[in-house]
Amino acid sequence: MNKEKNVQFKQSLFDFPLTVSLGKKNPIWELTRWNGQGGLKFIPPDDEGFSLRGDKRRLLYKGRRRSHRFTILGDGAFEYDCILEKEPESNVVTLLMDGAEQYDFFRQPDFVPDDFLKGSYAVYKKETLIGQGTGKLCHIHRPLIIDARGRKVWGDLSVVGNELRITIPQEWLSEAKYPVVIDPTVGTTTVGSQWQYYNDDFDPDYPEDEPEYKQIFSECSVDVSKFIVPEAINGSCTAFFYAMKDRTYDERDCGGRPVFYSDQNNKPVARKSKQESLINFYINTINNEGWRSGTFASNEIIPAGSNIWFGCFAAYFWFYRFDYGHYYIAVHGTQIQP
């Protein structure tokens, strides 16, 4: 696998850094995070030779029937384009995914308000260790498909076993002029894609009340996620949370305390932390978006390999981010240093 690597670029340097590795001769691409402890390789089923051209921002694998292009959009996303040079045998483009068994692929529902996210996939590790944040590897966004005349249509994503499938509407494809560009963007930050939920809890006796999208907030509540402890926790610890800037406003009372609980039957049970310090999540010109830390202690030795529920007891927190199928607190990154 290492012999295949030629070009590498880094993404999300101020989050949990992600390395994108491209094949030396073929358009194989691999995503690795957490110091190599989690990786996923995407393999297009092409058997023809490719010529390679490009620079540090864009690289093109030119083929006869299909070409593949990679473009760095910024620190938080890159673009993979599959370019159909000629009419394909099928309207379904398939990528094999080596390592898919280690991940959950959470499809975002069609009712989300952002067309870019409808039917997209949030990719999470099935088993997340302390120090790996939320365990999110990447986000595969809904692909936009464009032909040589500039005609556009959304493609449909699906994950079947170890295959990522992109389906192009057959009627649209039958009238397409080539080349046709299939354009899914890959988000590389570990933050959730959603920040509003659809609130359909309304009283039909009041016609003025209608279902609407609302932001999630937490007040005097505990929000935790399940983690595996890679090494024993004993005594004093430091917790890190990532405070994100609100799209509307920030509250000066934003803050919370790190807590963790034991696991029983896949549920948090007994509190195992004490002496938790209050961490300020307020964002202004002095306190920027980024990592915030605070100390706490374990009230007993937590053996390596244990499951715990770690998170935040929020005094008040307004801006939550989440993915459907995997919900977590908006200060999305979490780390413990024993």
Residue spans of the domains in the chain: they are 2-187, 215-337
Name which of 20, 237, 241 is nearest 133 in CA terms. Answer: 241
53/221: higher pLDDT? 53
Q: 39 is written with which tokens?
A: 């990786």
Overall residue count recorded for the chain in this entry: 338
- Range among 9-13, 14-18, 124-128 rated most confident: 9-13
Q: Which residues contact 269 (CB under 8 A, 6 or more apart)?
A: 261, 262, 263
d(CA 21, CA 12): 14
The model's pLDDT over 73-101, given as tens digits with 9 standing for 90+, comes to 888 899 999 999 999 999 999 999 999 99
Cβ contact 32:38 at 8 Å: yes
Q: Is 193's pLDDT higher than 50?
A: yes
Overall average pLDDT of the 183-200 stretch = 77
pLDDT classification of 329: cutoffs 50, 70, 90: very low
Q: Is 247's pLDDT higher than 60?
A: no
Predicted confidence at residue 276, as pLDDT, reads 92
The model's pLDDT over 279-297, given as tens digits with 9 standing for 90+, comes to 888 877 777 777 788 899 9
Q: 338 is written with which tokens?
A: 């024993």
Residue 111, burial from CB neighbour count under 10 angstroms (0-12, 13-18, 19+): exposed
pLDDT classification of 186: cutoffs 50, 70, 90: very high
Overall average pLDDT of the 142-155 stretch = 96
Q: Is 188's pLDDT higher than 60?
A: yes
Overall average pLDDT of the 21-27 stretch = 89
Q: What does the mean pLDDT of the chain come to?
A: 83
